[in-house]
Chains A and B, each alone.
Chain A
């Protein structure tokens, strides 16, 4: 017997996840801006995004750069897409699936009538080719498809994915942009040729890319959602200066600033003609400890530091109050987030007690590396320096070129380093595999953390498809990871976006996805 799960059921399942995760999530970040449509959508217009930096490449299987991802997500679409709350998936280029009793085969029905922007219909051969390409993308997003054994295309409207073992995050993995659908055999081109002017089923199609200046997409006339997109085109312009992006918005030269500086958020909230939106996100900032450097192998030292950090003060100083102190490895917008996990919150008495139990009860001298020019991180480091003094910890701040900081972190040449994470799939597996599983390829977020119980529960949560069982495994993972303080969980921040007030329907999911087909410009 095969278990059939319709699109409606998938939505119900996603909603159940939402309810589970929302229990005690404490609500979402504030949004001063109104992205609600005013009246009936108007067709036409070119929307200009001001981006901090240029895109890197349109190759969706190998690129990790957000500036590229936000663009090619408008061209390539996956079988399932992330729901607006970021905690589930909904049918997109597929309409439904069935799962085999052994939970190792998924059969997908493809949405009829979907065409690529060159007018050719999308078939199962395109889907098979696309997923196989991602699986082959060495050094890219192939790690998310490791559970897939093979992909079959028995009929033009049906795709079967065979797994090596039962794998709960499959739909979430399929919703990533890297599994977006491209034409079979790149429509007769080489991979390199194809990605210079890619073709997809998304609302927009390729126009031009003047590297370092602007990239433009225009409306896909074959788009499968009738009447959409509303915009004629979307242009991403590279404007590296924070001030200039703000001035472009005020001068009407751009409609959306993708990265307004935190220091300007409050003033933008009251600027006439500007809508300042703070979308709940999965971005979490951490302080990582290198456990191979003394005395950070000592859990009491890590716990002492974690207790000594006043997270509310960090939120106020860095995000100007526009965020929340973190309590868990997982952010609230991820399924199975456990709000009840208190984490190690600010408690100086507890911090001193932990130091007294540690191998260095009288303190020690250590170093934190921060990227020069990153005022947020320099502020955090300066606050930490003051907060660790009562524990006898002398913290030296070493400002290095940003690339060097990344490199030193990845080569374990640090004592303490500030780092962050944003989710790419609506499942905690992507983060837990990377952060707490030493086999995840990064030695547990480059910290050398290794707690066999946490690893065991993480692996168990991947292999069971029962949401309740997964929740209980992830509860333990979150509680243990917080108690071990392998990283100090600092704060959750929203995604700030500033737009002109004639932009309507603009929304960003907690994973950063934007559905530009829903956006329109009023006169």
Chain B
């Protein structure tokens, strides 16, 4: 528990660091939210009126202080674009991104585990080479291109899935999010397969595997109970690190499949210079990355009873 508490405590400096960097970066780059709201009608008078309404005519440090003061009270401020609480706008977008990530991870595992087992079962054999080479194509394909191919194949040609959208209800999400999650999973699977295969080969050389084999343990049971369980930790590490990167990269998939997630919100808010929303989303991204890494660390202990974090 001390370990978990320490890691959660780390969130505080991370969050403060993220707010400082994002706040000053977004305010120091050129651009103005009034330009978005007013468009071509942004006369100096109208711009000055909005700046005053939003408090943007105050010194930057005082704006930051106000932002932090609100933040500790759980208030991210008002979205300048929507004139609605930034927290509620972000909160409505988080589920779609989480759905995409979790669904993608499940599909990536479903693809990676059998393929890694096939590859490791015959090192340097034909199937090993095929499994090591073919998924790399997935890694090399631009996600937006793969997404359009999949839409053409499975949404336009055979109508198995919708062309885009998030769907409604659990089964609606499950149906609508399959193609986007598959695109993410195809990008994620090659690295997981490689990590899993390498660690499986290591485990296969261990004495306890030789013992199990000599005791006549059947191959499927040997792989699932003895090899996979002991080989999975490096793969979990790789998965954890890549999910961290994926959280920032979901915007492309969200854009192509019109998924109302925080990645898409982040991009539109940057273009609109919707400062409170950009700050809020970045904070959420920061917290998500820390949490995913924490979950990856905690899963070591769950997967391997020998691992203990407490002293």
Interface residues of A (CB under 8 A from B): 53-54, 56-57, 59, 64-65, 138-139, 192, 210-213, 237-241, 243-244, 247-248, 250-251, 253, 400-404, 406-408, 410, 419-421, 434, 440-442
Chain B residue contacts of A54, Cβ below 8 A? 268
In chain B, what residue has the closest Cβ to A440?
A: B43
Residue of B nearest to A406 (CB): B35
B53: chain A residues within 8 A (beta carbon): 139
Q: Among the listed B35, B37, B49, B148, which residue makes an inter-chain contact with A56, where contact means beta carbons less than 8 Å apart? A: B37
Contact A403 B273 (CB under 8 A): yes
Contact B162 A410 (CB under 8 A): no
New A-B contacts (17) at CB < 8 Å, excluding given A244-B256, A441-B43? A54-B268, A56-B37, A57-B82, A211-B89, A237-B165, A240-B258, A244-B151, A244-B163, A247-B156, A250-B156, A251-B155, A401-B29, A402-B271, A403-B272, A419-B40, A434-B41, A442-B43
- Give the A-binding residues of B (Cβ under 8 A): 29-32, 35-47, 49-50, 53, 81-84, 89, 92-93, 144, 148, 151-152, 155-156, 159, 162-166, 255-258, 260, 264-265, 268, 271-273
25 contacts between A and B (CB under 8 A): A57-B82, A59-B83, A64-B38, A64-B40, A139-B45, A210-B92, A212-B92, A212-B264, A212-B265, A244-B257, A247-B151, A247-B156, A248-B163, A250-B163, A251-B155, A253-B162, A403-B32, A404-B30, A406-B35, A406-B36, A408-B30, A410-B35, A441-B44, A442-B42, A442-B43
Distance to closest chain B CB from A268 (angstroms): 15
Q: How far is the CA of A408 from the CA of B30 in the complex (A)?
A: 8
Is the pair B43, A64 in contact by a Cβ cutoff of 8 Å?
Answer: no
Q: How far is the CA of A356 from the CA of B151 in the complex (A)?
A: 58
Select A212's contact among B165, B256, B260, beta carbons within 8 Å: B260
- Whether the pair B92, A211 counts as a contact (CB closer than 8 A) is yes
In the bound complex, residues from chain A placing their C-beta under 8 Å from that of B256 are 241, 243-244
Give complex CA distance A404, B33 in Å: 10
Q: Is the CB of B152 within 8 A of A403?
A: no
Q: Write the nearest CB–CB distance from A220 to chain B, whole angstroms.
A: 24
Q: Nearest Cβ distance between residue A105 and chain B, in whole angstroms?
A: 29
Residues in A neighbouring B159, C-beta threshold 8 A: 251
Contacts of B162 in A (CB 8 A): 251, 253
Distance (whole angstroms) from the CB of B225 to the closest CB of chain A: 44
Q: How far is the CA of A251 from the CA of B152 in the complex (A)?
A: 9
Q: Given A239-B258, A247-B148, A250-B156, do A404 and B31 touch, yes or no (CB 8 Å)? A: yes
List of A residues within 8 angstroms of B83 by Cβ = 57, 59, 192
Closest A residue to B163 by CB, please name it: A251
B35 to A: closest C-beta gap in Å: 4
Contacts of A243 in B (CB 8 A): 144, 148, 256
* Assembled-state Cα–Cα distance A434/B43 (Å): 9
Q: What's the minimum C-beta distance from B74 to chain A, rounded to whole angstroms?
A: 20
Contact B164–A407 (Cβ < 8 Å): no
A253 touches B260 (CB 8 A): no
Partner of B47, one of A56, A192, A247, A410: A410
Q: List, in ascending order, chain B residues with CB within 8 A of A248's CB.
A: 163-164, 258
A255-B15 Cα distance, complex, nearest whole Å: 44
Tell me which residues across on chain A come within 8 A of B35, comparing CB atoms.
403, 406-407, 410
How far is the CB of B298 from the nearest CB of chain A, in Å?
32
Nearest residue, chain A, Cβ from B81:
A56
B93 surroundings in chain A (CB, below 8 A): 212
Contacts of B255 in A (CB 8 A): 240-241
The 8 Å CB contact of A421, one of B40, B47, B81, is: B40
- Across the interface, name the chain A residue whose C-beta is closest to B151: A247
Q: How far is the CA of A419 from the CA of B35 in the complex (A)?
A: 13
Could you say which residues of chain B place their CB within 8 Å of the CB of A212? 89, 92-93, 260, 264-265, 268
| Contact indicator B42/A138 (Cβ below 8 Å) | no
| A139-B46 contact given A64-B39, A210-B260, A403-B271, CB 8 Å threshold | yes
Query: With the chains together, A495 CA to B257 CA distance in Å?
Result: 25
Nearest Cβ on chain A to B188's Cβ, whole angstroms? 22
B84 contact set on A, CB distance < 8 A: 211
On chain A, the residues within 8 Å of B273 by CB distance are 403
Which residues of A are found within 8 Å of B144, using beta-carbon distances?
A: 241, 243
A401 & B163 in contact (Cβ 8 Å cutoff):
no
The residue that B164 contacts in the complex, of A139, A239, A419, with Cβ under 8 A, is: A239
Residues of B within 8 Å of A404, CB to CB, are: 29-31
> A57-B83, A408-B30 given as contacts; is B271 within 8 A of A253 (CB)?
no
- Residue in B30, B50, B152, B155 whose CB lies within 8 Å of A407: B30
Instruction: Select which of A53, A211, A420 is within 8 A of B82 by beta carbon.
Output: A211
The answer to whether B30 and A441 have CB atoms under 8 Å apart is no
Q: Is the CB of A213 within 8 A of B260?
A: yes
Q: Do A65 and B82 touch (CB < 8 A)?
A: no
A401 close to B46 (CB less than 8 A): no
Bound Cα distance A235, B11 (Å): 41
- Chain B's closest residue to A402 (CB) is B271
Give Cα A59 to B36, complex, Å. 16
Give the distance in Å from the alpha carbon of A442 to the alpha carbon of B272 in the complex. 21
What's the minimum C-beta distance from B162 to chain A, rounded to whole angstroms? 6
Q: Which residues of A contact B50 (CB under 8 A)?
A: 139
Are the C-beta atoms of B30 and A238 separated by less than 8 Å? Answer: no
Q: Which residues of the other chain, A, contact B42 by a CB distance below 8 angstroms?
A: 406, 410, 442
Minimum CB–CB distance for B271 against chain A, Å: 6
Q: Which residues on A sit within 8 Å (CB–CB) of B44?
A: 410, 441-442
Q: Distance (Å) between the CB of A359 and the closest chain B CB?
A: 29
Question: Would A441 and B46 be within 8 Å (CB), given that A64-B38, A403-B271 are in contact?
Answer: yes
| Contact flag A238-B260 (CB < 8 Å), given A210-B92, A403-B32, A408-B30 | yes
Question: Which B residues touch A240, using CB under 8 A?
Answer: 255, 258, 264, 268
| Interchain CA distance A470-B53 in the complex, whole Å | 39
CA A400 – CA B36 in complex, angstroms? Answer: 15
Q: In the complex, what distance in Å separates the CA atom of A238 from the CA atom of B83?
A: 18
**Known contacts A57-B82, A211-B92, A253-B164: does B258 contact A238 (CB below 8 Å)?**
yes
> A28: shortest Cβ distance to chain B, in Å?
24
Q: Whole-angstrom distance between the alpha carbons of A468 and B49 in the complex? A: 39
- The 8 lowest CB-CB distance pairs between A and B, nearest first, are A441-B43, A403-B31, A406-B35, A213-B260, A139-B49, A251-B163, A212-B260, A239-B258
Chain B residue nearest to A192 in the complex (CB) = B83
Q: Which residue of A lies closest to B265 (CB)?
A: A212
